[in-house]
Amino acid sequence: MSTIPTETAQPGRASLFYDPKIRGYVYQIVLIAVVGFLIWSAASNAIENLRAQKIASGLGFWHNAAGFDVNQKLIPFSASGSTYGQAFWVGLLNTLLVAAIGIVLSTFLGFFVGVARLSSNWVLSKLAMIYVEVIRNLPLLLQLFFWYNAVLKPLPDARNSIALPGSIFLNNRGLILPNPQFAPAFQAVVIAFFIAVVAAIAFYTWSKKQQERTGRQYPNGLISLGLILGVPLLVYFIAGQPLSFELPQQGRFNLTGGLQIFPEFVALLIGLTTYTAGFIAEVVRAGILAVSKGQTEAANALGLRAGPTLKLVVIPQAMRVIIPPLTSNYLNLTKNSSLAVAIGYPDLVQVFTGTVLNQTGQALEVVAITMAVYLTISLVTSLFMNIYNKRMALVER
């Protein structure tokens, strides 16, 4: 060891033990090994205990008969023939349904409130402020109970349903609509719809190119709308109106037949939408404020009116600030939908982590699957939002 001074003088030949790079690798490997060992021992410990206590484990329950019913289902499900696996899909689809609609609605509402808060109209901006402060500062669960009762209370019972025009009924079992029955020829309408969408996109691309070449602007929105609505409608009449409706009938207790929108769904959707919109409004406000005032002034100096200024100058720049926190809010909305369990909406947590877990008793598997599902939903949402963010981000040349 007395020879160290002469050795350290030559950095290239230092002992491996003191090489920072090698040391770094060694530490990383040790860390991975320790973490791996902990996970492995926890898992084997759990498996051993389950076996010792004779608790059933594994995914064998997936194909067992479920034996219970769910009211809202997007795929066929019945107590007589369905399995726990199908119950999982019923719950997952219900979660995705409420999350997807909630994300769209809360985005619109959030943008509106966020812009309203910055409005020069005093009443509008104060109303937006009160909305944001009230919504953000009350627990979501409480709001869900409020909405559930607010949705249910004013509605009459099933025997005294409010009859709306077009065989639509409203009562405390939900909104009952005529159930559409599609004849085979309806396929043509669907195909026409997709063709119209493709045509609209093609027209949009063409008009953009025209604008860049000649400066002439086309009413893109109106033409797209006309195509997407008009073409399928035309085909519908040509195909001889291949759509009939099963009308709701008054039964002993409820209306039978018809398509039912459950109050649990409506209450959950309103709760999630208004709650998340409160946060989105703040994100939007912050994003708009982040765009320097000079940008608006410059746009005005170029002769742009207020509308195009907002659309072409302010919003695109604000979006860069808005998108990352917006992603978090979308994820929160999806995860918060699990509070549905409190108001009886059959989402993934209620059906799978609630009923299936209790009927099978296989907590480890069911909870692990549920966690994996929420993780996947969140990661996929993040991925798409990140791709969108990349496209919107400032391109430096």
Partner 1 sequence: MKKIFAAALVAAATTVCVGGAQAQTGLLGQIKTKGVLTCGVGPGLAGFGIPDAQGVWSGLDVDLCRAISAAIFNDPNKVKYIPLSSKDRFTALQSGEVDLLSRNTTWTMSRDTSLGLNFAGINYYDGQGFLVRKKLGVDSALKLAGASVCTQQGTTTELNLADFFRANKMKYEVVAFASADETIKAYESGRCDAFTTDASGLYAERLKLSVPADHIVLPEIISKEPLGPVVRHGDDNWLDVVKWTHFAMLNAEELGITKANVDEMLKSENPEIKRVVGTEGKFGEAIGLTNDWAYRIVKHVGNYGESFEKNVGTGSLLKIARGQNALWTKGGLQYAPPIR
Nearer to partner 1, 263 or 278 (CB): 263
Nearer to partner 1, 149 or 386 (CB): 149
Site mask for partner 1 (CB under 8 A), range 164-183, x = bound: --------xx----------
User: Are the CB atoms for 277 and 135 separated by under 8 Å?
Assistant: yes
Least distance from C-beta 152 to partner 1, angstroms? 5
Least distance from C-beta 70 to partner 1, angstroms? 7
Site mask for partner 1 (CB under 8 A), range 18-57, x = bound: --------------------------------x-xxxxx-
User: Are the CB atoms for 317 and 393 separated by under 8 Å?
Assistant: no
Least distance from C-beta 45 to partner 1, angstroms? 9
378 token code pair: 């969140």
Q: Is residue 75 involved in binding partner 1 (CB under 8 A)?
A: no
Distance between CA 208 and CA 333 in Å, rounded?
Answer: 35
Q: Is residue 253 involved in binding partner 1 (CB under 8 A)?
A: yes
Distance between CA 223 and CA 207 in Å, rounded?
Answer: 11
Distance between CA 287 and CA 318 in Å, rounded?
Answer: 5
Site mask for partner 1 (CB under 8 A), range 334-363, x = bound: -------xxxx-x---x---xx-xxx-x-x
Distance between CA 28 and CA 31 in Å, rounded?
Answer: 5
135 Cβ contact list (under 8 Å, min separation 6): 143, 274, 275, 277, 278
Contacts by 107-110, CB closer than 8 A, 24 or more apart:
107/280, 107/326, 109/273, 109/274, 109/277, 109/280, 109/281, 110/276, 110/277, 110/278, 110/279, 110/280, 110/281, 110/283, 110/284, 110/329
Question: Measured on CA atoms in the order 339, 69, 74, 72, is the torsion positive or negative?
Answer: negative
Residue from 8, 71, 300, 386 in contact with partner 1 (CB under 8 A): 71
Q: Is residue 153 involved in binding partner 1 (CB under 8 A)?
A: yes
The size of the chain, in residues, is: 397
Least distance from C-beta 159 to partner 1, angstroms? 9
Q: Is residue 68 involved in binding partner 1 (CB under 8 A)?
A: yes
Nearer to partner 1, 80 or 120 (CB): 80
Of the listed pieces 183-191, 247-255, 275-283, 289-297, which binds partner 1 according to CB under 8 A? 247-255
Q: Is residue 370 involved in binding partner 1 (CB under 8 A)?
A: no
Nearer to partner 1, 270 or 280 (CB): 270
Q: Is residue 152 involved in binding partner 1 (CB under 8 A)?
A: yes
Of the listed pieces 83-91, 126-134, 149-157, 208-216, which binds partner 1 according to CB under 8 A? 149-157
Distance between CA 397 and CA 213 in Å, rounded?
Answer: 23
Distance between CA 238 and CA 243 in Å, rounded?
Answer: 12
**How many chain residues touch partner 1 (CB under 8 A)?**
40
Distance between CA 90 and CA 69 in Å, rounded?
Answer: 11
Residue from 2, 3, 10, 80 in contact with partner 1 (CB under 8 A): 80
Nearer to partner 1, 8 or 49 (CB): 49
- Secondary element (H or E) of residue 162: strand 162-164
Dihedral angle of Cα 64, 68, 70, 73, to the nearest 10 degrees = 30
Residue from 252, 293, 305, 397 in contact with partner 1 (CB under 8 A): 252
- For residue 189, the Cα-to-chain-centroid distance in whole angstroms is 28
Q: Is residue 261 involved in binding partner 1 (CB under 8 A)?
A: no
State the residues that interact with partner 1 by CB under 8 A: 50, 52-56, 67-71, 79-80, 149, 152-153, 157-158, 172-173, 251-254, 256, 263-264, 341-344, 346, 350, 354-355, 357-359, 361, 363
